[in-house]
Amino acid sequence: MSELWKLTSGDLHERFTSGAASAVEIVESHLDRADQVEAKIDAILTLDRDHVLAQAKALDAKREKGEPLGMLAGIPIGIKDNICTEGIKTTAGSRILESFVPPYNAHVIDKILAADGIIFAKTNLDEFAMGSSCENSAFKVTKNPWDLTRVPGGSSGGSAAAVAAGIVPLALGTDTGGSIRQPASFCGLVGMKPTYGRVSRYGALAFASSLDQIGPISKDVAGSARLLSVIAGKDPNDGTSIDQEVPDYREALEEEMFGLTLGLPKEYMSDSLPSSIREAVDDVVLTLEALGTSVRAIDLPHTEYAVATYYVVANSEASSNLARYDGMHYGHRTKAPIKNLAESFSRTRSEGFGDEVKRRIMTGTHALSSGYYDAYYLKALKVRRKIREDFETAFEDVDAVIAPTSPVTAFKIGEKIDDPLSMYLTDILTVAVNLAGLPALSLPVGFSGEGLPIGLQIIGQPFEEELLLTLAQGYQVETDHHKKWPQIP
């Protein structure tokens, strides 16, 4: 089997554009890799080999004609299956959309295609992006390539597992409360959650509209910079996307970090943090200080309320967003005998939604109901503002914030699935970023004693993705954690 699958996205692009490898050779290597490992990790929901090869052949023909080639030319890309792809099934990991084939592309898909990227596969996820382990998919449980008995994280677990296993060098995920960063941490990858509004959400199946963001997952920092450069920007179809110039984020990889001040929140380094994670963070601090930064302790006092606030806001928005799945226009419709429209809705939604989605719809509906709106939803919005103000105060004294991405490494499959509260608490270090609308990047910074990846997140002010990439690249040049591959038996 050709080992082109081991190359980074940048190396693949260079091989293709220089003529050292054809697009067909590149995708065949990744298809072979998928044949080798997919049955063990279950990262993919849809992979149309003929469609993938057709894209590659068209790209080879374009190169032969001497036509200009885009920034993603020659690069296979995995797409989380809650992002619409015209003519390719998009399920959101749910029975209710099991046969749904979108008639249009998400904005980010059109941008990828315009940059000559190759849409390789649709990847598994927690149903409607609701979960932290990729165990809530209606179709399969994705395994972590570093340990097949453990979860890859969620909800973008399929995208992360596919990159970690070498099936694709780049993938798209969505991050509502950590769903890019946490699986990146669990799988030893780079994952970027952009500023809210930096990337269009048009065509991403909505979970919580004020929190959702699409972003890249990659083996190295340069891969995330390359993909973000393509997908970022204003989209007239998304009223929340910001009309702000998009830089070539790859240029940030060459910048110096000397003189920057970083904050390490006391609340994120609690006594309950495992020693392996604490030691990894301490090592990062030493590395960054040796590169010319200074690190100081800071306070984010409302951190303890972040999880509760997040699950009130997110579930309330999910209750509203998922009301559209009623079986009337598209998606699953019950085949059971029914007496009236209300029974049709009830049966359709009961059959189509999984337990976690039902739980979140019900709690969100309760929070929005008469008599409880002020006590739950309105109060959550007020605390959300306080959380954002904590960051604004911190950024008066520091240029960026660093912290562990997750309070745990990848846990065993089945370990938390029957304990929702325990599962929700794995998000405690990521949800505040979404509530505040900030950019954050997770990168691999070491391994536990069990050989499991550990991630650190870098958090910045709105639209300062370049600074995060500069810091991450500076660290990555000095370390080799990102160069290691899992040994999949």
List active site positions. 80, 155, 179
Rounded CA-CA distance 251/244 in Å is 17
| Residues 397, 106: Cα–Cα separation, whole Å | 39
- State the angle between helix axes of 221-231 and 9-18 in degrees (0 to 180), rounded to the nearest 10: 70
Please name the residue that has the structure tokens 């920092």: 221
| Cα–Cα nearest to 176, from 138, 205, 145, 148 | 205
Measured N-to-C along each axis, helices 355-368 and 306-321 cross at an angle, to the nearest 10 degrees, of 100
Say how many residues make up the chain.
Answer: 489
Distance CA 21, CA 385 (A): 51
Which residues are 400's β-sheet partners?
262
CB 460 within 8 A of CB 440: yes
Contacts of 341 (CB under 8 A, 6+ apart): none
Question: Is 335 in contact with 321 (CB distance < 8 Å)?
Answer: no
Q: What angle do CA 408, 409, 415 make, to 5 degrees?
A: 80
Which helix (DSSP H) or strand (DSSP E) does residue 329 occupy? none
Rounded Cα gap, residues 380 and 284, in angstroms: 34
Q: Which helix (H) or strand (E) holds 445?
A: strand 440-447
Q: What angle do CA 380, 382, 387 make, to 5 degrees?
A: 90
Show the beta-strand stretches assigned E in 162-279. Answer: 170-175, 190-193, 213-218, 261-265
Residue 76 host element (H or E): strand 76-80
C-alpha distance across the termini of the chain, in Å: 17
Q: How many CB atoms are closer than 10 A to CB 58?
A: 12
Give start and end residues of each alpha helix (H) in 123-274: 157-164, 181-187, 221-231
The pair of structure tokens assigned to 144 is: 């972590």
CA dihedral 380, 462, 83, 311 (to 10 degrees): -20
